[in-house]
Amino acid sequence: PLLAMDKWTGKVALVTGASSGIGAAIARSLVHHGMVVVGLARRSERVEELAEELSRTGEPGKLLAFKADLRKEEDILAAFSWVEDQFGGVDVLLNNAGVLYTTSMSEGKTEEWRDMLDVNVLAVCISTREFLKSME
């Protein structure tokens, strides 16, 4: 079990890449522990499906879907602005989203490298900056 999760009940977590895999599992666990979770994903309908499932099972927290493409700064800014308006800010940020292309360096495509940098590096920096600003 997660230690001292009681202090996070009712707090707001923003989870990137919440539509599948590790991101969905993180969102599920945080909702189970009573947090309000905003799940960012390009495929927000998957987050909505998970939210409905968690609501039906009576979990103490709540999952909300927010459609965002982390390659677009304006989507990240819109998500943080919405959370600020709805809840007064983000208490926990989980930079989970990631992109991986498995081509060799000699066969790699610039567009794929740019995509990985945009999601795996730049989106993390932008999200973390906005999170720190929301804590001020």
pLDDT in tens, 28-85: 999 999 999 999 999 999 999 999 999 999 999 999 999 999 999 999 999 999 999 9
Note whether residue 3 is domain-resident.
no
Checking if the pLDDT of 117 tops 80, the result is yes
Q: How many structural domains does the chain have? A: 1
| Domain assignment of residue 101, given as a range | 8-135
pLDDT at 2: 53
DSSP code at position 4: T
Report the alpha-carbon distance of residue 91 to residue 19 in Å, rounded: 20
Q: Judge whether 15 and 39 are in contact, CB under 8 Å.
A: yes
Q: Which amino acid is at 95?
A: N
The answer as to whether 1 is a domain residue is no
In the numeric block, which tokens belong to residue 59? 């979990």
Q: Is residue 2 part of a domain?
A: no
CATH number at residue 16: 3.40.50.720
Rounded Cα distance between 61 and 85, Å, is 19
Tokens of 81: 């602005």
> Which single residue is written with the structure tokens 């999200």?
127
The answer to the question of residue 59 being in a domain is yes
